[in-house]
Chain A
Amino acid sequence: MIKVSQLLKTVPTADGDLTILHGVDLEIVAGTSAAIVGASGSGKSTLLGLLAGMDVASAGEVWLDGVNLSALDEDARARLRAEKVGFVFQNFQLLPALTAKENVMLPLELAGIDEAGSIAERFLGEVGLQDRLGHYPTTLSGGEQQRVAIARAFAREPAVLFADEPTGNLDTRTGERIIDLLFELNARASTTLVLVTHDERLAERCDKRFSMSAGELSGP
């Protein structure tokens, strides 16, 4: 379960503090999916960063799977991410130094799991890349790279999966296939899915839909 109360985020600028999030409240039940939609610059990526513990709020609290992120330091939040969080990004964010299989192995290795290699192969098989294990990201298409990223995200069997514009860099047909894959794996693993997008059709497939505008959230 994710719970957010009175979340405020301001950043210093040359003209004084700029408020990006204005006291956001949010609740997402475990095992469900939620979409946060909004135009560019509305603050949805900032909210995602805070939900995943990658940034620190100026005020307010974020609870992730029963843990108050505001009380944790950066390394404790990283530990929590390693245990409970998976990510899928718009730019895929694969390490170019590693092959597809090594990229999927990475979070498993970080968690000290011994069978990282076989687990990675299984998940790459599930996303249909069993014959691309040794390929480097630059030799894969955008769709294939995003599938590697999805395999990487699910390989750790996270409690929560955050997806930031997962189809933003893909054409419509590839994007649809990626979304199908994402929802299919999500359903199978009963993961809590938080999806940031400006694609209304994608948002409609989620259990809940929140709207972000000028740093304020309105929801169901």
Chain B
Amino acid sequence: MKQALTWRLLAREWRSGELGILLMALVLAVSVVVGVSSFVTRLQSALLSESARFLAADMVVVSRSPVPEAWISAAHEQQLQPTEVVGFPSMAVADIDHMALSSIKAVSLGYPLRGELLWSSEPYGEVLATGAIPGAGEVWLAPRLFSLLDVELGESIFVGEQPLRVSGAVRGEPDATTAVFGFGPRLLMNTADIPATGVIQPGSRVEYRLLLSGAPEAIASFTEWVKPQLGQGQRLDSVEGAQPSIGETLDRAQGFLLLAGSLAVVLAAAAITLASRRFGERHTQYVAILKSLGAQSPEIAGLYGRSLFWIGLFGTLIGCLLGWVLQEAFIRVLGSLLPVEPGSAGLKPVLIGGVTAAVCLMFFAWPPLRRLGQASPLRVLRADMGIAEAQRSSDFLMGSVAIVALMWWYSGSALVTGAVIAGLSVVMGLGYMAASVLLSGSRSVGGFAGSLWRVALAGLQRRGRANALQMVIFAMAIMLMLLLSVVRTSLIGQWQAQLPPDAPNHFLMNLAPEERPELQTFFADNEILSETLYPMTRGRVISVNDAALPRWEELEEDGAPRQREANFTWSDEIPSGNELLDGEWWTADTDQPWVSLEEEFASDIGATVGDRLSLLIGADALEVTVLNIRAVDWQSMRPNFFMVFPRKVLEAFPGMYMTSFRLLPEQKSLLNQLVGVLPTVTVIELDIVIREMRVVVDQVARALELVLGVILLAGGLVLISGVRSSLDGRLRESALLRAVGARKGVVLGALWIEFLVLGGLAGALASVGAEVAAWGLQTQVFEMSWTPTPVMWALGPTLGAVIVGALGVWSCRRVVNVPPVVILREV
């Protein structure tokens, strides 16, 4: 058949609207898939950079002995930029009365390779990020070291034998959480001064860190080269292991985006199926005429195949373009969040978009069109001949397999795919059951009802099969929209709950028992909100069930059980926000030697419930039995403890107190007063981190909303396609009703009832499916707790009825506005 004819038919079909829906469905599928996957790819690269920031490098070689010169030369040869960091705990001395155990970090030129070193010229002064490090002969002190050592800017202190001039205050290091060198305030110095200090002796507990940055390939090649050479006490730290605390938030957001993209594919496939089905039905007569005029099956297949090819090509191109616009919009919205310019998304998203288009067209659009070639030419003589079933179960099966594979490939998660499929299966199974029962029973109900209801219910029953399919499709679309809304709401809710506006943003430690009243007075005088004071004793686990644990420096294999030092506290009840995983909690007045362990800590020392632990608290030994294991929410911004004891067991040991409190930005200078009043306390400032986290959460929530909007659009398109799929039959019947004298009100009323019933039922089914899928996603994928969403059970049927009802009646409005004869002639 001539190409010109293909174009003519395509052009005319475009005007009739059916191709428009098909094309729009395809464009939507491709654009959402391309947009979301480009965005996620770029977000991932930004995330890696974010992680790199928390490592201050792309990769770090950690060693207990100096890193071999040959490795540094090799790094240079691989075009990697290296810089060395040396960390150790040591005493900083101002004079005989003023000394403090400090966590010393010596850095060299180039530090940090990723992220920024924040400092100020006054202890709590304006924070600067100038790219500078302490010069040779200089030190930067943590703000509270100034008061501990009673020094001011320009004065000198000693580290070992070397005097160093205080030239600044260190306010933030990118790798503060990954490069910890003992417990104590930070002292930052230059590596050039280390030999002169004389503090590093054989056996000293020193950590050497070689920071490296460069192209991913160079990092990979260096890793491959250096790995076999790593000896005892040497390891590689990569960005994957250095997720910041916001990592979980971003991880979940990424999971949500991928889920949304997968849902978009399902919705688009549904829209494409419906549009293509209607297209096929309307074209059966065309094909019969063409065949009566001598067109052969291959020509017909060629005609529609070519049409589909062009639609596919245009749809994919437009979809890719719109997808690019979409991801640009996401990036703009999130611009301020991303620490570095996100990398290019590459061609993979386009490939995913193309494959999505191909799968949708091949398995959902093509079967009804392919079968057009088999339409009998006899229809030109017998208009009452039935239309061959557009979609066969084999098509449906193949399509379903294709969609599951696509969702899996796309989300990269069997759990996400499984949860959504479970929800969809419930909708389909219940849908067909409900449809067959309710729609077949509707006529007997209608018999007792008025004429309006009788007409509507008869209509529902007459198109029973088509209505069942339509209802299931409506239910799927509503389910996916509800599901995404529910997951989004609970994700954002959880993030906000994690960071309430009055969350503590400073930790205070090392408070002596006798200093408690003074601190409480200070807080009360300055109207500072604080958590309760927790007792805290520092101790060490040295053996489990009498088997001695190796010390950290004796450890032969990273990750093996070892001695751990930790902060101990006592509590009558399980600390709030903790969850008991194994064992039981004690009664408040017990004096049994029991202990409660945090789960990861328990795994670090290789202990479980019932094991006996030998502890050292100062010089005193203590034997306890593990009574339970707890999970701790480390992102809660509350004091959390690895080991909790009954009050009577720990009370006797000397200990200090800790708490967390909230300072407003304008109260920040109170910190200087606080360390003046209580010079020995340790204050950990988390306000900058929390502010960063809050920005991230806000921005990510906005991105989620953007994606939700796109998915709602996709769902709306499916609903429109669904309504249109049965339009001809309804228009014809309504026109006939009007032709035999039915008033507009009766015709419209019957249509309203029909669509309201369909939409309401679909909405109810959708609520069941969404609840099932939400349970799966929240408990299995997002690792959140699940609670039923009662509002959804009301919202689903109501929204379904209103939206489907309004869309349906709006689509059929012509029947009351246009003379019936015109409609009968057209359809």
Chain A residues in contact with chain B, CB under 8 A?
A: 45, 48-49, 52, 54-55, 74-75, 78-83, 85, 87, 89, 91, 93-95, 97-98, 102, 106-107, 109-112, 138, 152, 164
Contacts and interface: CB of A to CB of B under 8 A. Distances in A.
A125 B826 CA distance: 27
Given A97-B13, A111-B294, A78 B8 contact: no
Given A82-B294, A97-B16, A87 B380 contact: yes
Contacts of A81: 291-294, 377
24 contacts: A45-B382, A52-B292, A54-B377, A54-B380, A55-B376, A78-B295, A78-B297, A81-B293, A82-B293, A87-B293, A93-B285, A95-B286, A95-B290, A97-B12, A98-B9, A106-B293, A107-B294, A109-B2, A110-B1, A110-B293, A110-B295, A112-B2, A138-B825, A138-B826
B294 A110 contact: yes
A5 to B, nearest CB: 21
Among A48, A82, A112, A164, find the residue whose CB has the most chain B CB atoms closer than 10 A.
Answer: A82
A75 B297 contact: yes
Given A81-B293, A95-B289, A97-B16, 16 more contacts: A48-B381, A54-B381, A74-B297, A75-B296, A79-B294, A81-B291, A81-B294, A89-B380, A93-B288, A97-B13, A97-B286, A98-B9, A107-B294, A109-B5, A110-B290, A110-B299
Nearest to A112: B2
A53 B7 CA distance: 29
A75 B298 contact: yes
Contacts of A52: 292
Nearest to A137: B825
The 5 closest A-B pairs by CB, nearest first: A82-B294, A97-B12, A75-B296, A54-B377, A81-B294
Contacts of B2: 109, 112
A177 B826 CA distance: 26
B382 A93 contact: no
A81 B295 CA distance: 9
B383 interface: yes
Interface residues of B, number: 32
Contacts of A55: 376, 378
B381 A89 contact: yes
Contact of B292 (A45, A87, A138): A87
A164 B289 CA distance: 14
A207 B16 CA distance: 45
Q: Which of B5, B9, B825 has the most CB of A within 10 A?
A: B5
Contacts of B5: 106, 109
A78 B16 contact: no
Contacts of A94: 289
A14 B380 CA distance: 24
Contacts of A80: 294
Interface string B791-827: 0000000000000000000000000000000000110
A90 to B, nearest CB: 9
A49 B378 contact: yes
B294 A93 contact: no
Contact of B291 (A78, A91, A95, A109): A78
Contacts of A106: 5, 290, 293
A77 to B, nearest CB: 9
Contacts of A91: 380, 383
Contacts of B8: 97-98, 102
Nearest to B4: A109
Contacts of B290: 95, 106, 110
A184 to B, nearest CB: 22
A79 B1 contact: no
A107 B293 contact: yes
A93 B292 contact: yes
B378 A54 contact: yes
Contacts of B16: 97
A95 B285 CA distance: 9
B208 to A, nearest CB: 78
B474 to A, nearest CB: 29
B302 to A, nearest CB: 12
Interface string B1-31: 1101100110011001000000000000000
B381 A164 contact: yes
B727 to A, nearest CB: 16
B159 to A, nearest CB: 88
A107 B4 CA distance: 14
Nearest to B2: A109
A204 B1 CA distance: 40
Contacts of A49: 378, 381-382
Interface in B445-465: none
Nearest to B297: A75
